[in-house]
């Protein structure tokens, strides 16, 4: 079975990258047991709690990240360096448990994936 | 090698789709297998039959169609397409839309088709 990584690099609102990336990850998780998620750069903002996207006329897809464990997606990694650059701490409340890794460790994990999609 | 391409850039406005087309042609020329190309996000606009470039410009929508005639399946994410105003006859009728505009050669598909293609490919390249 191939392992497939989804990399989230964009902020949650302002474009549909995160929402459509999550849709693709969920669809893939239904068929593949080895799906992992990586949150890098502005992508670390995807998992922040208490977002109110309806105020910018956008659908609230953020809560849907929380169902990933039900799809047996356990490997979720978030970049410590990106968090720090944005004034977030490793303990900042998030909608999905994600392992905090420095950028070198994160790259090492990512390099293990057979296929990588970026959103 | 078996390849799958994922195109997330529009028919016009960025170089993503034209790079993907050139890459697809090069793959076939080199003897690789390219079973399917999946169009997602703004990539669905590559299947908009109403795209009308000027006479001296490259017509990528019809160029994709020619690739399909060489045996490459052109899958378009149905949800992403409908959100962006690209629909086939069946969806248009079901949703009560005024017209259909999917270029012949393209097929509306679910995201599961992308997952299946990735799981059976040696390489996945995203544009």
A16 touches chain B (CB under 8 A): yes
The pLDDT value given to residue A1: 86
Q: Which of B116, B118, B126 sits opposite A118 (nearest CB)?
A: B126
Q: Which residues of A touch B114 (CB under 8 A)?
A: 24, 27-28
The pLDDT value given to residue A113: 98
CATH number of the CATH domain containing A17: 3.40.1260.10
d(CA B111, CA A27): 6
Closest CA to B88 of B38, B48, B51, B36: B48
Closest CA to A58 of A20, A96, A31, A26: A20
- List of chain B residues with pLDDT < 70: none
**ipTM exceeding 0.85, yes/no:** yes
CATH of domain B2-126: 3.40.1260.10
Q: Give the domain extent around A111.
A: 4-118
pLDDT means per 10 residues, chain A with 119 residues, are 96 96 97 97 96 93 93 96 96 94 97 98
The pLDDT value given to residue A86: 96
Residue B34 annotated in active site: no
The pLDDT value given to residue B80: 98
The pLDDT value given to residue A82: 97
d(CA A2, CA B118): 8
Test A31 with B80 for CB contact under 8 angstroms. no
Q: Which residues of B touch A115 (CB under 8 A)?
A: 118, 121, 123-124
Q: Which residues of A touch B119 (CB under 8 A)?
A: 1-2, 4, 31-32
Q: Which of A1, A17, A27 sits opposite B111 (nearest CB)?
A: A27
The pLDDT value given to residue A35: 97
The pLDDT value given to residue B95: 98
Among residues B67, B77, B82, B108, the one annotated as catalytic is: B77
The pLDDT value given to residue B11: 98
d(CA B20, CA B126): 8
The pLDDT value given to residue B30: 98
Query: Cα A86 vs. chain centroid, distance in angstroms?
Result: 16
Phi and psi torsions of A25, nearest 5°: -65, -40
What pTM, to 2 d.p., does this model score? 0.96
The pLDDT value given to residue B89: 98
């Amino acid at each position: 079975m191939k392992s497939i990584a989804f990399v989230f690099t964009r902020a949650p609102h302002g474009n549909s990258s995160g929402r459509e990336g999550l849709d693709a990850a969920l669809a893939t998780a239904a068929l593949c047991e080895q799906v992992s998620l990586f949150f890098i750069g502005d992508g670390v903002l995807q998992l922040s709690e208490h977002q109110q996207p309806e105020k910018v006329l956008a659908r609230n897809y953020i809560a849907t990240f929380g169902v990933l464990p039900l799809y047996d997606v356990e490997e979720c990694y978030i970049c410590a360096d990106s968090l720090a650059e944005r004034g977030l701490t490793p303990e900042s409340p998030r909608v999905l448990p994600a392992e905090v890794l420095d950028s070198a460790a994160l790259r090492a994990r990512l390099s293990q994936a057979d296929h990588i999609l970026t959103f | 090698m078996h390849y799958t391409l994922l195109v997330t850039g529009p028919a016009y406005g960025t170089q993503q789709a034209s790079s993907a087309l050139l890459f697809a042609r090069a793959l076939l020329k080199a003897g690789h297998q390219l079973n399917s190309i999946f169009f997602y996000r703004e990539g669905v606009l590559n299947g908009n039959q109403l795209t009308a470039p000027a006479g001296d410009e490259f017509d990528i929508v019809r160029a994709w169609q020619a690739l399909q005639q060489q045996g490459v399946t052109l899958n378009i994410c149905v949800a992403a397409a409908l959100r962006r105003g690209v629909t086939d006859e069946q969806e248009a009728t079901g949703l009560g839309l005024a017209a259909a505009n999917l270029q012949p050669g393209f097929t509306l598909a679910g995201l599961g088709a992308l997952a299946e293609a990735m799981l059976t490919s040696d390489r996945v390249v995203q544009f």
